[in-house]
A and B are shown apart, each in its own frame.
Chain A
Amino acid sequence: MPPPEQEAAVSAVKAASLTEMAPNSGKIFKFGRKPALIVRQPDGTFRAFLAKCTHLDCVVQYREDKERIWCACHDGFYDLNGTNVSGPPPRPLDALEVHMQGDDVYVTRKS
């Protein structure tokens, strides 16, 4: 059994900047030691989630053509609230909080 891991204390991570992400796009970023997904919705607002599919752990991605979050492993879909809407995922994605500071987009754990 491996020794317990020390989870890096992540309070806030700069995930993107306004100029970097066009509306209707997504990007994977590091949230501590976990992959997370930030999505700029078609209306220009941001949403962020831990990018771990609740089915079998694959890293999800944003599908611009469907305006949904997609897991390529078993073709599972989540809507932009992170709710599992089709395919095998059994639960919603873990959501993160998004904060704007000027042009920068910061992400924190849900309080």
Chain B
Amino acid sequence: MSTSPENPDRALLAWAKDRYPIGKFAEWAKHKTVPVGRGAFWYYFGGISLFLFLIQVGTGILLMFYYKGSADTAFESVRFISAKVPFGWLIRSVHAWSANLMILSVFIHMFSVFFMRAYRKPRELTWISGLVLLALLLGFGFSGYLLPWNELAFFATKVGTDIVGVIPVIGEPIMYVLRGGEDVTGSTLPRFFALHVAFFPALLTVFIAAHLFFIQMQGIHEPEAWEAHPEQRKTMPFFPHFFMRELLLWLITLNIVAVLAVFFPAELGIEADPFSSAPAGIKPEWYFLSTFEFLKYMPAHVGPLEGEEFGLLLISLGFLLWCLVPWIDRGRSRRITTIVMVTGVAILVFLTILTYLGFAA
């Protein structure tokens, strides 16, 4: 291979090959495949979630140029971003919409993995790391929601942190740390800002890396039918076939985000006032609506527990069982698999109905 200045691309490649095992990587990439079949479309949502996360990082950095994270300045700084900074409204809207779409995409990804039973051995840790990522993303969304310091965000944070405080023993200290005191005040805002721009991104990066590492180690889950009928096995190369398709979907996703951000820009609302009543029609972001609505239907007391404690206990138990799904359904009993799948459908329907009721209320 020539390393002459007339061939700078090749020269660069030769320089890199001398120093790094690029040949091995190229060989690995050449043999990496993705299953092709009825469920193949759902495989793209993991990548779409990653793309939306990258949009979040980019727009988040731009917003930080102007955002001021204290109770006296936060609302005005967001108003300044929306009204004065060139394209500030667009960046803020893209940030808000891509956050919502990212969580939607992660939910679709999680349920598609569930219904394809891709959580089974040997992918238990991929499932768990995915659930940790979902929890971190919900924390990401929750911490970001307060940052504009508007009325809706203020009360959503009051309710959300109070729910944390219900957890026995550790709940109250955690709530105290999150709030920076007994109540949600100006002291809460810098804490949420730090969580949103440092703590959650750092943890999320670690878990995304772990999640991707597990997928690279074990490959993408193949349909169960192929075990009995190996002749049906059909794959496509990851590079470039799947990769180019994924890039096309990223482009479509970017367009969807742009259209939503332009036609439905993020609103700012009214500045938070800790001494005003909660407004009628207060609602959290859509991904917390089902929990919000569920707690609304709890009676004041259930046995020795207060309604909110009982509700939170049920939600925690549900989430724990969801984490344990790979160990509950190991594929050894058709009956257990059926029960788990029907439960999954019931959970999906239940969450959808509660979310709808939350919107309609």
A: residues with CB less than 8 A from B are 1-2, 5, 28-30, 33-35, 51, 53, 55-61, 71-75, 84, 87-90
**Which listed residue, A58, A75, A84, touches B158 by the CB 8 Å rule?**
A58
A74 nearest CB neighbor, chain B only:
B296
A73 and B155 contacting across the interface, CB-CB below 8 Å:
yes
B: residues with CB less than 8 A from A are 155, 158-159, 161-163, 173, 176-177, 180-184, 187, 274-282, 292, 295-296, 298-301, 306-308
State A58–B157 Cα separation when bound (angstroms). Answer: 10
B159 and A58 contacting across the interface, CB-CB below 8 Å:
yes
Write the nearest CB–CB distance from B122 to chain A, whole angstroms.
Answer: 41
A84 and B274 contacting across the interface, CB-CB below 8 Å:
no
Give the chain B neighbours of A72 by CB distance below 8 A. 277-282
**Which listed residue, A34, A57, A73, A90, touches B306 by the CB 8 Å rule?**
A90
Give the chain A neighbours of B155 by CB distance below 8 A. 58-59, 73
The number of inter-chain residue pairs (CB within 8 angstroms) is 82
**Which listed residue, B182, B183, B301, B308, touches A56 by the CB 8 Å rule?**
B308
A3 nearest CB neighbor, chain B only:
B181
A56 and B295 contacting across the interface, CB-CB below 8 Å:
yes
Write the nearest CB–CB distance from B227 to chain A, whole angstroms.
Answer: 49
Write the nearest CB–CB distance from A42 to chain B, whole angstroms.
Answer: 20
A60 and B277 contacting across the interface, CB-CB below 8 Å:
yes
A1 and B173 contacting across the interface, CB-CB below 8 Å:
yes
State A29–B163 Cα separation when bound (angstroms). Answer: 26
A2 nearest CB neighbor, chain B only:
B180
Kindly list 4 other residue pairs between chains A and B, CB separation below 8 angstroms, not including A51-B277, A56-B308, A88-B295: A73-B282, A74-B295, A84-B300, A88-B308
State A72–B152 Cα separation when bound (angstroms). Answer: 12
Give the chain A neighbours of B278 by CB distance below 8 A. 53, 58-61, 71-73
In the complex, 7 of the A-B residue pairs with CB atoms within 8 angstroms, ordered by the A residue number, are A28-B276, A58-B282, A74-B292, A75-B296, A89-B300, A90-B307, A90-B308
Give the chain A neighbours of B176 by CB distance below 8 A. 1-2
**Which listed residue, A34, A51, A56, A75, touches B163 by the CB 8 Å rule?**
A56
A88 and B282 contacting across the interface, CB-CB below 8 Å:
no
B188 nearest CB neighbor, chain A only:
A2
Q: Which of A2, A33, A71 is packed against the most chain B CB atoms within 10 Å? A: A2
Give the chain A neighbours of B162 by CB distance below 8 A. 56-57
Write the nearest CB–CB distance from B170 to chain A, whole angstroms.
Answer: 13
Q: Which of B161, B184, B274, B277 is packed against the most chain A CB atoms within 10 Å? A: B277
Give the chain A neighbours of B187 by CB distance below 8 A. 2
Give the chain B neighbours of A58 by CB distance below 8 A. 155, 158-159, 278, 282
A28 and B159 contacting across the interface, CB-CB below 8 Å:
no
State A88–B263 Cα separation when bound (angstroms). Answer: 38
A57 nearest CB neighbor, chain B only:
B162
State A57–B184 Cα separation when bound (angstroms). Answer: 10
Write the nearest CB–CB distance from A68 to chain B, whole angstroms.
Answer: 13
Assuming the contacts A35-B274, A72-B282, A73-B282, asked whether A56 and B307 have C-beta atoms less than 8 A apart, the reply is no
A53 nearest CB neighbor, chain B only:
B278
Give the chain B neighbours of A2 by CB distance below 8 A. 176-177, 180-181, 187
B292 nearest CB neighbor, chain A only:
A74
State A84–B182 Cα separation when bound (angstroms). Answer: 23
